[in-house]
Amino acid sequence: MGKKRRRNKGRNLFLFIVLCPTFIWFLIFFIIPLISVIVYSFTNAHMAYSDFKFVGLNQYIKAFTKDATFMISLKNTVLASVIIVLFTIVLSLLLAAGLNSLRDKARQIFTFIFFLPSVISAVAISLVWDWLYSKNYGLFNAILKMFGLPGQPFLTSTSQALICLCIIQIWAIFGYYAVVLLAAMRSIDKNMYEAADIDGAGAFAKFLRITIPLIKNNIIFVAIMSTTVAFMFFTPVKILTDGTPGTSTMVILLHILNKGIKNSDIGYASAMSIILMLIILFFSLIQWILGRERKDGAKHYKEVR
């Protein structure tokens, strides 16, 4: 008993030493800032003044009733999120299925190529796409002119700018999520597909009735993560348009930055940050609830049969 007790104490001490730095980091860089933002959101805190007072829900009410730019940024953010999430899921699924059909060597090479944008600096990506979208000397307009088509304004158009920025975000992230889905597809038992082949199921039927149901949890993960990324859409917007032309590309994070840093309105910026966090949490919970059914391989196999 004495040796066992000393062993347990040693194990607990080791766990404490290992986990303590992580907990301290989490406390300093997540818990304390989160609590501070929540507290500030109920105040009129301003960087120009040393004192502040609690104002209740006034900052939240202001966002929805007195700040027209916030409502515009919310609409733009939701629209961008819908575009980014839908296309990210579809493209990552198609890419993962395509990569899964390749031989090992080719699959490794193309997986690396498509994964690469996810580790490149978002600033560098934005600058490259800025050149591609350039109205006067961009590659896209040069291609259009080669086919006798008129050049497009892209980032300087109120109707095109937000979509162009969404394309950049989709291009940057869908390869990463394709790798996640590819890993899930590679873990599916090949006997399922062989049984489906015996039953005469085609490639599309196998993909729809075996692959999709068995990687549903991974698809939900992609949906939740891409939703978070989409609502945190910021770098391409800030670098390429800064919310212009007009307010067509004004998103919530950019509006928070303008209010919190440029205007020094900490209380109001904190309230908008909490609103954004709750929106992300809301959509993530919806996605989780809609897809929380447990996967059942036998059931899916019966459907194929």
Q: Is residue 34 part of a domain?
A: no
pLDDT in tens, 199-258: 888 888 889 889 999 999 899 999 999 999 999 999 999 999 999 999 999 999 999 999
Q: Tell me what pLDDT residue 133 has.
A: 96
Closest CA to 117 of 129, 101, 106: 129
Q: Tell me what pLDDT residue 60 has.
A: 96
Q: Is residue 47 part of a domain?
A: no
Q: Is residue 45 part of a domain?
A: no
Q: Is residue 269 part of a domain?
A: yes
Q: Tell me what pLDDT residue 116 has.
A: 93
Q: Tell me what pLDDT residue 17 has.
A: 83
Cα-based angle 140, 86, 297 (whole degrees, multiple of 5): 135
Amino acid at 52: F
Cα 102 → chain centroid: 27
Q: How many domains does the chain have?
A: 1
| Structural domain for 134, as ranges | 67-304
Q: Is residue 53 part of a domain?
A: no
Q: Tell me what pLDDT residue 226 has.
A: 94
Residue 296 maps to which CATH number?
A: 1.10.3720.10
Q: Is residue 261 part of a domain?
A: yes
| pLDDT-flagged residues of the chain (< 70) | 1-4, 292-305
Cα-based angle 280, 281, 286 (whole degrees, multiple of 5): 100
pLDDT in tens, 271-293: 999 999 999 999 888 888 877 65
Q: Tell me what pLDDT residue 195 has.
A: 87
Q: Is residue 12 part of a domain?
A: no
Q: Is residue 5 part of a domain?
A: no
Q: Cis bond leading into 245, ω under 30°?
A: yes
Q: 287-296, long-range: CB within 8 Å, 24+ apart, which pairs?
A: 287/220, 287/223, 287/224, 287/227, 288/220, 288/224, 291/216, 291/217, 291/219, 291/220, 291/223, 293/216, 295/213, 295/214, 295/216, 295/217
Instruction: Specify the pTM.
Output: 0.88
What's the chain's length in residues? Answer: 305
Q: Tell me what pLDDT residue 3 has.
A: 65
